[in-house]
Structures are given as C-alpha cells and as structure tokens.
Amino acid sequence: MIRGLARAGLVVCGAALIAGCGGPAPVRVASPGPPPVTVPLGTSLVTAQGTWAIAVMGGSAASHNNFWQLFLRPAGASRWALVTPPGVADNGGLVAAGGSTSLVVGLRPSQRLVFSPLATSTDAGRHWTPGLLDAALADTPGAIAVGPSGRTLALLQDGSIEAAATARGAAAGQWTRLTTMTALAASAPGRSCGLTGVAAVSFGPHDNPVVAGSCVRPGVAGVFTDAGGTWRSAGLTLPGRGRVQVLGLAAVPIPGPIPGVGGNAALLAAGNSLFEAWWNGTRWTVSAPVAAGGVQALGFGAGGSAWLLLSGGRSETVGGTDGSWRALPPVPSGTVTLAPEGSGSFDALAVAGAKLTVWRLAQGAWAKVQQITVPIQYGSSG
C-alpha cells in the first residue's frame, strides 16, 4: 500500500522563497534580529471528515528511507487509520488542506523530480483521485489552501502562487498564475514592509486569497489580501517586537449574515516569543506571548485554536481568540505532532521507525491508546 513512496513529497512549502524587495523608501533595520524559525512539515488539521495528521516515519533522509505518512481519525471516532495516498513518491514531504467536502494532499519533489503529484479524497481517505501540479510545492505546511467555494491555492518553491477554480480543477491540473514573489514584493504593501519571503496561503473575507510571509520592517507581519487583483496589507502589527515571521496561517469561519465572509488565524514568531493572532476580516486580536523554543511542529484546530510542539518536550495550546496559552504536560518521547482530540484534549503521535504510537491526554496525563505499524519498504526509494 505504501509502495513507491520515493522521490517526491507532499509538503507544500514556500519557506525560503527569498527575493529582494526594494522601493523608493528602503526599509532600514538596525540589527538582523534572531535567525528565522524553520517550520517542519509534520502537522495536523481538522475538517468535517475528521482530524488528519502528517508525520515522517522510517529511517534516514540522507538514504531516502524517510517516508511521509497521512493518518486520519474520522469525525466521531477515537482511533486512527493510515490513509496515505498509494503509489506516490513521498520522501520530499506531504502538505495538505481541507475544504468542506474534500482533502487535497500535495507531495513535495525529492531526488530528481521537479513536479508535485496531488491526491484528492472526498470519502475520508478511502479513495484518492490523482492529480498533478507541474511545479515544485514550497517546503512549508501552509503551501496549499482550499477555500469555501473549492478554489485552491498552491505556493511554489520559487515563491509563485498558482490558483485553481475548484479542487477538482486542481486535481485535473487546471492551474493559473495568481502572482509571484517578485510581484508581491514590488507591490505597495510589499515595499512598505520589506517582504523577504512567503510561507503560507489561505483564504479570507469573500473567499479572497491571503498570503503571509516575513518582512524586514520591525513589528510588521507580512499578511496580504487580494481583492480584485490588488494586493493590500491586512494590517497585522506587533509594535516593539522586532522582525515578525509568519509561521502558519489558517482560515477561520466567521458566523454572520454574509456568505463567504471569513477570518484567519496566524502563528507568529517575533524576537524570543511566539504569538497567535486572529483576524475577523476587519481587525486583529493578538494573544499574549509564549516563550519561544525550537519549533518541532505546529497546527490549528477548530475555531481558530492552535498548538505548538517545542523542543525539550514542551507543548502549548491556545483557544480561538481567548488570548491565553496553556502548557500541556511534557509530551511522550518520540512525539512528532499533536492533534486536537475534542473537548480541549489532544492526541500525541510518537514515531519510532515504522511504528506510530498514539497517546491521549486525559486527566492531566498521557495514556497510550493505540499503535500502528506501517508497512514501510526500506530501500525502495533508491
């Protein structure tokens, strides 16, 4: 079932898409600030079909024995199942985004591949429809987004952004160029903030594309919205916090009388702190800071909630717009990602070679609830 997972990866990432962005009034910074935070591809996301988790398993990446896997805990269920799309090479990583009725998975290229296979499921991973993006997805968890209408965005490795009118069109390869990193950096908001890279795509009010990245100007987060072909700043700032890096971005439905109006949640790094910010389409609310650590994984849950897996076994979670971070008990050894379990609890997914162990947080402690052995064919990627 996991045969042929070799040269590509489904990780959609636009992490290091760096382009110079000058302007009539260059942005000047007194000091370079801390080094950028690297965000691994392992993550989880919640859709109507259930909770999905992405984890790398197997052995050495240098020997191409690392195989990325997709797991699903169906809505209303308590156990996880392996649902990795079959017959695709996934050593490069996986990225995924969910719509109201489907999940789109992208595989990042590895070794000699220069394009990104896609797979779409409308039945909770039981069947997959293959597709193709004739370009390399970016190396970031936020490289793919699916809007309420089914419109799909893909962030490429060179910083360009492609759009498909529907998830079905994306699977069929019907992509068109939305913008490029160069064009975005040369736009008025890009010049104003000193945009240096794009890390995530999403959708905001009225199903309009949203793009997020990093800026040179202190205190300014590079979050931009596209309205009728004109890019505008979403106005997210963290005054006095130095350079701001957007680590993740997710659409958040906003109840209201106007169909298609939505908000966003963003995870941010600034100085030695991490934040979450929520946008209702008009204004931003920013959480209290939490002390930064090596980011091992991150993700979003329902209602704009989010979680961070940090080095040293630390993990933190914050509820939608409540602004308060909550430290979870130290995670079990080998934990590579967390997944919201409902009612404020979490599952911790730990990996040891071909074995995935699921730990569930209950009454303040982690309890082992499941183990899955993945049939990995070591050496099949060579």
Non-local CB neighbours of 320 within 8 Å, separated by 6+ positions: 252, 265, 278, 302, 303, 304, 305
Residue 3 lies in a domain: no
Report the distance separating Cα 28 and Cα 365, nearest Å: 48
Tokens of 363: 């009454």
266 near 246, Cβ under 8 Å?
yes
259 near 308, Cβ under 8 Å?
no
Distances (CA, A) of 296 to 16, 38, 70, 311, 331: 17, 9, 17, 6, 12
Tell me the DSSP string of 172-222. Answer: TT--EEEE-HHHHHHSHHHHHHTEEEEEEEEE-GGG-EEEEEEESSTTB-E
Tokens of 71: 């797991």
Please name the residue that has the structure tokens 């439905």: 253
Tokens of 79: 């156990």
Q: What is the pLDDT of residues 197-236, one digit of tens each?
A: 999 999 998 889 999 999 999 999 999 999 888 999 999 9
User: What is the reported pLDDT for 11?
Assistant: 33
Q: What is the pLDDT of residues 300-309, one digit of tens each?
A: 998 889 999 9
> CATH number, domain at 311?
2.130.10.10
Model pTM score? 0.87
* Torsion sign (Cα): 289, 291, 292, 293: negative
152 near 115, Cβ under 8 Å?
no
Q: How confident is the model at residue 343 (pLDDT cuts 50, 70, 90)?
A: confident
- Residue type at position 130: P
Which carries the bigger pLDDT value, residue 171 or residue 143? Answer: 143
* Torsion sign (Cα): 203, 206, 207, 209: negative
Q: Please give the residue range of the domain that contains residue 214.
A: 43-373
Q: What is the pLDDT of residues 369-380, one digit of tens each?
A: 999 999 887 766
Q: Is the pLDDT of residue 348 over 90?
A: yes
C-beta atoms surrounding 52 within 10 Å: 26
Report the distance separating Cα 331 and Cα 329, nearest Å: 6
Residue 22 lies in a domain: no
Q: Is 39 helix (H, G, I), strand (E, B) or coil?
A: coil
Which carries the bigger pLDDT value, residue 336 or residue 255? Answer: 336
Which carries the bigger pLDDT value, residue 38 or residue 3? Answer: 38
Which H or E run includes 262?
strand 262-270
Report the distance separating Cα 222 and Cα 244, nearest Å: 8
**Distance, CA of 287 to chain centre:** 19
User: What is the reported pLDDT for 23?
Assistant: 40
User: What is the reported pLDDT for 59?
Assistant: 78
Residue (of 106, 97, 1, 117) closest to 49 by Cα position: 97
Q: How confident is the model at residue 16 (pLDDT cuts 50, 70, 90)?
A: very low
Looking at residues 20-28, what average pLDDT do you find? Answer: 42
Report the distance separating Cα 84 and Cα 79, nearest Å: 16
Residue 12 lies in a domain: no
109 near 7, Cβ under 8 Å?
yes
119 near 131, Cβ under 8 Å?
yes
Residue 184 lies in a domain: yes
User: What is the reported pLDDT for 291?
Assistant: 93
Residue 50 lies in a domain: yes
Strand partners of residue 338: 348
Q: How confident is the model at residue 17 (pLDDT cuts 50, 70, 90)?
A: very low
**For the chain, percent of residues with pLDDT exceeding 90:** 64
Q: Per the structure, how many domains does the chain have? A: 1
Residue 118 lies in a domain: yes
236 near 221, Cβ under 8 Å?
yes
Residue 100 lies in a domain: yes
Residue 294 lies in a domain: yes
